[in-house]
Amino acid sequence: MNRRKFLSATTLSAALPQAAALLPAADTPPQPPPVTRPRATFGDAVEPDWQQRLKITVGPQKADLVGSDHRVIQAAVDYVAGLGGGTVEILPGTYRFRNAVQLRTGTRVIGSGEDSVCIKEPSIKTALAENSDWYDREVTLTDASGFQVGDGIVLRTKNPNNGSFDTFKRTLIARSGNRFKLNEMLVENFWTKEGATAARLFSLFEGNRIADAAVENICLDGNRNQNEFLNGNYVGCIFLRESNRIHMRNVIARNFNGDGISWQVCHDVRVENCRSHDNAGYGLHPGSGSQRTVVTGCELHRNDIGFFFCWGVKWGLVERNTMADNKRFGVSIGHNDTDNVVRNNEVLRSGKTGIFLRQEHGPTFSPSRNRIEANRVVDSGAETGVAVDIEGVTEAVVLTKNVLLETRLPAARVGVRISKEAKNIQLAENRIDGFSTNIVDLGKR
């Protein structure tokens, strides 16, 4: 080895211990350096904080787009989405909807608080006059009066193979008399002998396979008394499906004959400071495999259920919300809903149970590994009401630092009820007052 090579080798070997000290531990994933001077780059969500962004206004008058129904809002959403994203500002006014506004990726819809009211038009329903097969893209209605091109509809029929009901949403896009073309083909048979029907039913705002969108500061009214019921697997004041990173803030979702806000198979959804009340279904409904939901500062009043964890909802945080006067449960956690935190909420005057961990479809689907912490649960159910009820083979649930109160007569009311099959249920530092029995552990009888 010549002198130059020897010196290089010595320098490298001397530096190795110091360099090794700078490496992260083996169990720490390496991280890139922070972005201090971002640039707008194709496909990169990290970009500068621009002083001005694309925005278009919608209103009954003196707006970029003038109108007072769902079509003008849809036109504005599509316009900003077509340019790569932006904000649609809905000015004060009352907007009548005959179909859902379809949200788009990268769009933000912001209203003027309770001065921007979107109202669902009444539903109507009729039987199909002719059969439509699964490959068809049209239906014929028995009574087409009240239906218009552009309406959002729900088609329902009894499935002849298993007796269940098939439900699909479509839009009417062309017409000849009582014969209508649909925006998409059917994927099931809709036959008159199976009682196939069409009804004008839809959400107010809907997102399907979108990302990075927001709805803020707006009042949505489902006109419950003039609309048929349809559950939150299909519609709501806001209904989302297979969408990610959607943000809802300061939204009023009220009077819907179904759910207030429902999201199915959606990840990283945030709901902040919203009011969902007087809905026939659930106030908030994270559903079917939704991951990392965050809900905070919301008021969920006088719904059937305040907050409903559907199937496979995991790693969610429900914190600092109020669930009051809901018909059945303040919070319901069930089928394979695991690893969630329900913390610092007020759960008041629930019709049956304050916080309900329900058993569904056997032990492998139990709502296990959830943490119920520092909630205040008051006056749950009738004379046999339960503040916190844990059903089935639920495992590894922690109830800690909660205040469970009964301010009425004790009657046969229970603070915490634990099923015979439940395992590893940890209770610590809870205050339980006013009940006939504070804790009923059926596994210890």
CB distance 65 to 95 below 8 Å: no
For 125-199, CATH gives: 2.40.30
- Whether the CA torsion 64, 65, 68, 70 is positive or negative: it is negative
| Mean pLDDT, residues 252-267 | 98
- Token pair listed for 433: 């007052």
Phi, psi of 168 (to 5 degrees): -140, 145
Q: Is the pLDDT of residue 10 over 70?
A: no
Higher pLDDT among residues 206 and 40, named by residue: 206
pLDDT confidence band for 163 (50 / 70 / 90): confident
pTM: 0.91
Please, what is the average pLDDT of the chain? 93
State yes or no: pLDDT of 27 exceeds 50: yes
pLDDT for 96-153, tens place per residue? 999 999 999 999 999 999 999 999 999 999 999 999 999 999 999 999 999 999 999 9
* pLDDT tens, position by position, 277-303: 999 999 999 999 999 999 999 999 999
Q: What is the pLDDT of residues 338-393, one digit of tens each?
A: 999 999 999 999 999 999 999 877 777 899 999 999 999 999 999 999 999 999 99
* Residue 335 confidence (pLDDT) above 70: yes
Higher confidence at residue 397 or residue 162?
A: 397
When computed from its CA atoms, the radius of gyration of the chain, rounded to whole angstroms, is 27
**Residue 311 CA to chain centroid, in angstroms?**
12
> 154-157, long-range: CB within 8 Å, 24+ apart, which pairs?
154/198, 154/199, 154/201, 154/202, 154/230, 154/234, 154/235, 155/186, 155/190, 155/196, 155/197, 155/198, 156/196, 156/197, 156/199, 157/188, 157/189, 157/190, 157/191, 157/194, 157/195, 157/196, 157/197
Alpha-carbon span 21 to 421, nearest angstrom: 51
pLDDT above 70 coverage of the chain, percent = 94
Taking only the tens place, the pLDDT of each residue in 191-212 is 999 999 999 999 999 999 999 9
Q: What is the pLDDT of residue 15?
A: 43
pLDDT at 190 over 80: yes
**pLDDT value of residue 211:** 97
User: What is the enclosing helix (H) or strand (E) of 18?
Assistant: helix 3-22
Task: Give start-end residues of each CATH 2.40.30 domain in the chain.
Answer: 125-199
What's the whole-number mean pLDDT along residues 40-68? Answer: 93
Per-residue pLDDT band for 26 (boundaries 50, 70, 90) equals low
Q: Residue 443 has what DSSP assignment? A: G
pLDDT confidence of 1, banded at 50, 70, 90?
A: very low
pLDDT digits (tens, 9 = 90+) for 378-418: 999 999 999 999 999 999 999 999 999 999 999 999 999 99
pLDDT at residue 12, as a whole number = 37
- CATH 2.160.20.10, the chain: domain bounds: 202-444
Query: What pLDDT is recorded for position 24?
Result: 52
Model confidence pLDDT, tens digit, residues 71-97 = 999 999 999 999 999 999 999 999 999
pLDDT given for residue 319 in this prediction: 98
Distance of CA 128 to the CA centre of its chain: 32
Domain 202-444: assigned CATH number: 2.160.20.10
- Of 102, 130, 116, 110, nearest in space to 59 by CA: 116
Q: What pLDDT score was predicted for residue 17?
A: 44
The amino acid that residue 331 corresponds to is V
